[in-house]
Copies of this chain bind each other. A is one copy, B any other.
């Protein structure tokens, strides 16, 4: 007992942290009892509860979750790996996830992969070492082996917003095919038949889904989609500016442009404006994502709403489910519908050409 006392003072001098032992001593109860009143995991007399809680307040006690986690193998923190947390769409997703998880008493470690699979791997390793209870990830690439390996170690993981081929991991994605389809249908109904398409530099499942849906809708109306109407670019604003100009040069008869994302669509509006065309009077533009900017741009952008909050909700729910019962048989695949938001940037076709 005496030696214990001495150690106690030792520690207090270095770090001003009071531990469960301190409060046990002060409240004159066993350490176990204190633990139990904290976690409400056993019947304790009211008198004791009161005494313990009071000393906890007196000493400003805050449990050391590290120690607890070491025992319970549960950290109440999950990892979120995204390519770029400053990308508006990911920022929105991560904020939603953080909020939901906060209400379930989880914290989230946010990691940027910067579209680099090596960094993704690094992060996965540290997250594992920090014993996170699970991981939400928007993969940097289509590579999924390392993710599968990670899952097989026993740490739940769910993929967000991307479809990786040949993989048995829970996934939550938006219905990109339907989104592209709806966008095309809408433009058709406005009378547009000659439509330009701004695409990613190379196909990824999500953008490909959009394109396939788009083309399918045209085909249904008997409109032959001219592959020449596709221009591929990056995914920035300036890429959109360039792309729109290229498209118009290749095919001046175009009366509408669909872009696989909003930023490029907005860029396209700027590019068209620079060409002297008025949107939507002379030409219509439709985007994809519904980033905040799209509603406040001039003209505001008609776009397919990316269901950020739904996605965050479903993904969090799924992950928590996997965490609570780790028996994993077949991966879930949740597809979230998205909705077309009609705004100023589109109008009935006036057959410009």
List chain A positions with a Cβ less than 8 A from chain B: 15-17, 60, 62-67, 69-70, 73, 75, 77, 84-86, 88, 91-92, 94-95, 98-99, 102, 107-112, 114, 119, 125-131, 152-154, 237, 266-267, 269-270, 273, 293, 296-298
- Cβ of A108 and Cβ of B109 under 8 Å apart? yes
Residues of B contacting A77 in the complex (Cβ-Cβ under 8 angstroms): 109, 130
CA distance A17 to B155 in the complex (A): 11
Contact partners of A88 in chain B: CB under 8 A: 86, 88, 91
In the A-B complex, the 7 residue pairs with the smallest Cβ-Cβ separation, listed nearest first, are: A86-B95, A91-B91, A65-B129, A237-B296, A110-B110, A85-B95, A86-B91
Q: Which residues of B contact A267 (CB under 8 A)?
A: 296
A102 to B91, CA, bound (A): 18
Docked CA distance A213–B126 (Å): 46
User: Distance in Å from the Cβ of A38 to the closest Cβ of chain B?
Assistant: 11
Q: In the bound complex, how far is the Cα of B237 from the Cα of A95, in angstroms?
A: 20
Residues of B contacting A65 in the complex (Cβ-Cβ under 8 angstroms): 126, 129-131
Which B residue's beta carbon lies closest to that of A90?
Answer: B91
Q: Which of B108, B126, B273 contacts A110 (CB 8 A)?
A: B108
Is A66 in contact with B62, judged by CB distance below 8 angstroms?
no
Beyond A70-B70, A99-B112, A102-B111, 8 additional contacts (C-beta under 8 Å) are A16-B152, A62-B125, A84-B95, A94-B110, A95-B112, A109-B109, A110-B110, A293-B293
Point out the residues of chain B lying under 8 angstroms from A99, CB to CB: 112, 114
Q: A66-B75, A66-B130, A128-B62 are in contact. Are A102 and B95 (CB under 8 A)?
A: no
CB pair B102–A64 under 8 Å, yes or no, is: no
Instruction: List the B side residues contacting A98 at CB < 8 Å.
Output: 85, 110-112
Contact of A86 with B75 at beta-carbon distance under 8 Å, contacts A70-B66, A111-B98 already known: no
Instruction: Report how far A16 CA is from B84 CA in the complex, Å.
Output: 31
Contact residue among B95, B153, B270 (Cβ-Cβ distance under 8 Å from A298): B270
A185 to chain B, nearest CB (A): 29
Query: Residues of B contacting A296 with CB < 8 Å?
Result: 237, 266-267, 270
Report yes or no: A67 in contact with B70, Cβ–Cβ below 8 A. yes
Closest to A270 in B: B298
A233 smallest CB distance to B (angstroms): 15
Of the residues B66, B131, B154, contact of A16 by C-beta under 8 Å: B154
Cα A92 to Cα B84 in complex, Å, equals 10
8 A-B pairs (CB sep. < 8 Å): A16-B154, A17-B154, A65-B126, A85-B85, A86-B95, A107-B130, A270-B298, A293-B293
